[in-house]
Amino acid sequence: MSDNPRPVIGVIPARLASTRLPRKVLREIAGKPMLAWVYEAAAGARVFDRVIVAADADEVAALCRANQWEVRLTAPELSSGTDRVHAVAAELVKEDATLDHAIFVNIQGDEPLLRRDHFEALLRPFTRPEVNVSTVMTPCSAVDVSNPNAVKVVVDRHGRALYFSRAPIPWDRDGRGDLAYWKHLGLYAYRKQSLDLFPRLPPSKLEAAERLEQLRLLENGIDIYVEPVEFDTVGVDTETDLSVVEALILRRP
């Protein structure tokens, strides 16, 4: 149960039809489907009033029902996790109008190393009334600075995102070596009114070029507040990622 004065709803977009690693949310990691690790991390964090899986296939929904996880089926053609979270939020508000004031959290279904610290950091900015969208970042390792699969973020002095990129930003033109690099972790929290804006906005050129949906918000002047967190994660997109995550989980005390 969250301590936030507004309800906090965690939604896990779980897309079976993933392209780079097919059926990845159902792939086993250390004896459990990847989705189980994500759901259990979210439910066990005790910062959400509800945790809901947004499935795109009956097979994923069946796994959820077998484990007594709340699940909603969403249209397979929805193009992003944010669109899936929005679809679930719209259903919930139809059932209970008070949830129009809730905070909705997009919990990536391919992040099995998430922990309570990530969720607490994500929700921390919402003590300020001007915050409508938040995400998190962690110090970027030297190897990930030039890794296009690790998204970098630059923020202003108030914690607002200036830009997200797969490129190494900021660019150390003179090679001074004194710049801090931050890796973006793909968690997002939205007030319902801001979540409603996302599908109404056309996909942006920067979003299409970088393949980063959050750039749609920045291009339309919507601030994203970014909170630092100590712990990195490994998003699972490849067989190698799957092996790395399994090894890390098996080494846990």
Q: What is the pLDDT of residue 63?
A: 97
Lowest mean pLDDT across 9-23, 83-97, 100-114: 9-23
Q: What is the pLDDT of residue 3?
A: 59
Separation between Cα atoms, residue 70 and residue 55, nearest integer Å: 10
The answer to whether position 57 is within a domain reads yes
The answer to whether position 3 is within a domain reads no
Cα→Cα distances 89→81, 85, 106, 108, 187, Å? 12, 6, 11, 16, 16
What CATH number has the domain bearing residue 116?
Answer: 3.90.550.10
Q: What is the pLDDT of residue 153?
A: 98
Task: Pick 15 or 152 by higher pLDDT.
Answer: 152
Per-residue pLDDT, averaged over 243-252, amounts to 94
The answer to whether position 2 is within a domain reads no
Q: What is the pLDDT of residue 1?
A: 54
pLDDT tens string 168-212: 999 999 888 889 999 999 999 999 999 999 999 998 899 999 999
The answer to whether position 211 is within a domain reads yes
Per-residue pLDDT, averaged over 222-227, amounts to 97
Separation between Cα atoms, residue 44 and residue 38, nearest integer Å: 10
**Total domain count, the chain:** 1
The answer to whether position 1 is within a domain reads no
Separation between Cα atoms, residue 126 and residue 12, nearest integer Å: 20
173: domain range?
Answer: 8-250
